[in-house]
Structure formats: structure tokens, C-alpha cells
Structure 1
Amino acid sequence: MEITNCQHPNHDSQRIKYVCVDPQCSIPKKIGCADCFLDDHITHIRKTTTQFKDFVNDSIQQINSVEFQQASNSPQKDLEKQIDTELDSCMDCIKQKFNSIKGDLKGQIDSDMIKISDNCTQYQLNMNNELEPFKSTIRNDLHILNQTELNSLVKFYQEAPKIHKHYSKAAEQVQEEKQKIKQKKQKYLAKMRSIMQILLKDFNELMTSKNVQFDDCCDYETPQKQVMSPNKMINLVETARSSRRFPMSQTQKKYFLAAVTKKLE
């Protein structure tokens, strides 16, 4: 059976009405009637039993209403998404730059190859036009040729080495142009490798640099404050104190170092 009246012999069976909620209270019995609280809890913070029960019930409901976000919506997932976005953007930028170099190279090579092709076509056409009359004439017997045709063949005979040298030189020039294109390709490839090596070198230096801080720092802290070590802070304070002729003793340095280190942690 629930006891709703005070059992103290001198409290006239008064109704139990109050609960002591004072944080400083050391009295074991926290509930009682008005006289109980006059005796033991006169200066303490109290609540009526109804107020106490309502507060506890409301607190249980409030705490119970707290919802925990699923892992898929966690800050870690958001951070991973942000990292992926930044990394993709960085890779796209690098890819775009290399594609620009490749496009520039391809454009130049295509233009050079068109020129070479045009030159080869023109050389071949010139050579065919120059040799075709002699091809037709030389098929006939020499004794049936007229004087003009024979003189033309004689002249060709005399100049054939020179003509051969001319077209051989043209063929060599074509090969030289092709070699230049090959060298240009190699130059561009070396340029791309050089750029990649510089990127990797800068990346490795950045990731291994002591100046890169991954500690949680206030957004409003200066870079100097972020990277300043306890010993640097001691030297800074020592300099300021020495200018006023109040240098730090070894004991003061010891205590200051401990305090700074603890604060930085």
C-alpha cells in the first residue's frame, strides 16, 4: 500500500508533499511533509511531489525523443563526399590541362603531316610529268626517232644524275620533316612527364612538410599561432620579459612549458 502520510509521531500524519532536489543536500531522506522540511530541509531547494513527478516524466520523454542519425547521414559521410568532389575536380583539372597539351600536339602534327603529304604529292606529280615523255620515247627504236626526240633523250641522259639527285634530296627532306615531327612528339611527351614529376614532387613535399597542420584549430587562429611550438612560445615570452629585465628562471620555464603543452593538447 502506498504511504501518502508522514509516519513521524510528532508530525500529525501530515500528507507527504515535498521532495528535496537541492544538489548540496546530504540528508538521506529526500521526501517528507512540511514539518520534515522545516526540520531537515528548511533552506533547501524543494519541489512538490506532483512537480517532481511531472519533471521526471517530461525529462524521460525529452531524452527518449533524442534521435541518432544513421551512419549514412553522418558527418564522416558528408566529409567523404566533399573529399571525393574536391578530388574529382582536381583530377578533372589535371586531365583538362594534359588534354590541352595533347590537343595542341595533335593539331600541330596533323598540320605538319598535311604539309608533308602535299609536298610528297607535288614531288611525285612533278617527277611523273618530267619522266613521262622519256618513258614514251624510249620504248621506240632509236633509229626511228626524229632529231628532236633523240636530242631530248640525249639531254636527259646527260642530266639524269642531276635529276636523280634533285628528287633524292626532296625525298630526304620529306624524311627530315617526318623526323622533326617525331622529335616534336618526343618533346611534348617529355614536357608532360616533366609536369607530372613536378606535380608529384610538390605533392610529396606538401604532404610531408612540417608546416602542414592537421590538428583541429580555431578558424580565427593565425598560421603563426597554429604552428608555434611550446618552446617557441617560451622563447617569445623570454624575449619580452628580458626586454623588461625580468628573465624567466628554470623553474618558471618548466611550469610555463607544462601549462602551454597542456593548453595545446
Structure 2
Amino acid sequence: MVVNYDIPFDSEAYVHRIGRTGRAGRTGDAILFLTPRERRFLGGLERAVGRPIEPMEVPSNATINQHRLDLLRLKLTTALNPGEDSRREELALLAEILQRVSQEQDATPDQLALAALRLAVGDAPLLVQGDENWMRQQAPMGRNDRGNDRGERGYERGGDRRDRGGEPRTRVGQAGAAPARGGFRSEDSQPEENMERFRIEVGWRDRVKPGNIVGAIANEAGLGGRSIGRIQIFDGHSTIDLPKGMPDEVFNSLKRLRVMNKELQISRHQD
């Protein structure tokens, strides 16, 4: 599987990327993240690959949980039929262990089966229980946050001249949006309503781009591109606006998330 965090503006580059899924006669999937304003580029990519690119819906918690339960049931059904005779001796030893534990713990067959399933599932929670309302929030788009239709390419080109002066380049609104009209905003500006500002320890010195940050955080936190607000990149750190009410487990996972081979070490921004 190949995951494209941002849309390539060169069709040949896209074909080269997704070609990795079909090497040596293999088949695979390619997933592409894009913003509503970037949909107009899809036609060129579809002509390049010679087939339509089908839209995907972000799965809900219920869909993910049902898939996990179905997969566990399939694995359990498969395990009931050992198949190879070479494993029958091993299964006999497992049966002996079950009988011994049952006698020692006075456990019923159902209790033993549940304990075995818990071992198979592992320590990670089987079911997703995150706040879907938080995941589906969208960053507000003001009149001045429209940017242009050139996406991130125009954004980078417009900001190169400002790097030398030490000013931050700013990503406003949804993923790939260009700077707001009226110029770049300072770190002192306040986040939009229902958004909270965070600091991450990666900046221009690490050669990070807004697309790197958006793609990594969107994938790790399960956020849509429009749920991510303004990004400001400085020499040694960056700030990013995310929806208020981030669950603790998401916050902790983002601390360990690596971008440009550096941990984000995300923290709440102090004014």
C-alpha cells in the first residue's frame, strides 16, 4: 500500500509513486489525501493512470469495531481447524495446559476461552472508543482564509523570500491552503473559536513543510484535513491549531509521533 499525504501536481510523479504497489506482478492499493479545492487535479491523475480514482469515506468507530470483531471471529474459526497433522502434537500439549489450568483455577470452559481470546487480542484495546465529534470537527474558514487555488505549491513559492528574514510562513485553514490575503501572521495571533494552539518541536532547520505536518498529524489523530487549522513554522519549532478537547490518548500518541525523523513532543502553546 502507498499512502500519499499530499497530491502530486506532476502526474508522472504520482504514477511513479503508486507503481510501487504493482512491482514484480503484485497488486496493491494507493490512498491519496486531498482537500476539496484540489479535486480539480484528479482528472489529470485519472487520465495518467487510465482508471477512475474512487472516493473513500473515513470509517466510523462502529465500522472499525465491526471489522475488528469480524477479523477476530475469522481467526478463531480458522484456528478450530488445525489442518496440518504436524501440529496435532502441539495442539495436544495446549489441550493439556487448558485442562491443568481448569483444574487449578476451577475455571469453566467459557472462562478459559475468554482468557485465551484476551491473550490473542493483546494489551491494546480491541474496540475504538475515541470521541468522533472531536475527530470530525472542521477548522473554521474566514473570509481572509481562502488563499488561492494553487495549493501548497503556491504556498511554498510565496514564502521562500521570507525565510531569510526569520519570519514564519503560515498555513491557514484547510490542508494545502495558501497564506491569507494581507500577508503572514505572527505567533501572537489567537486561534479561531473552538480551536486550540499547540507547539511542536520541528521547524525550518529540520526542512519540514506544512504538508509533512498535516499528513502525519491527520493520519495519527484520525483527523480530516479541514479539521487542522493554522500552521506557523519557525526556525526551531512550529505551532498548529487543532480542535479543542483533544482526547488524552491522541495527545500522548502525538508526543511520540516523528516528523522529519524528529519527535514532535507536542505541548499546549503558552502565550
TM interval, short-chain normalised: under 0.3
Q: How does the TM-score come out when normalised to structure 1? A: 0.23
Q: How does the TM-score come out when normalised to structure 2? A: 0.23
Query: By percentage of residues, which structure has more strand?
Result: 2
Larger RCO, structures 1/2 (Cα 8 Å, 6+ apart): 2
The higher radius of gyration belongs to 1
Query: By percentage of residues, which structure has more helix?
Result: 1
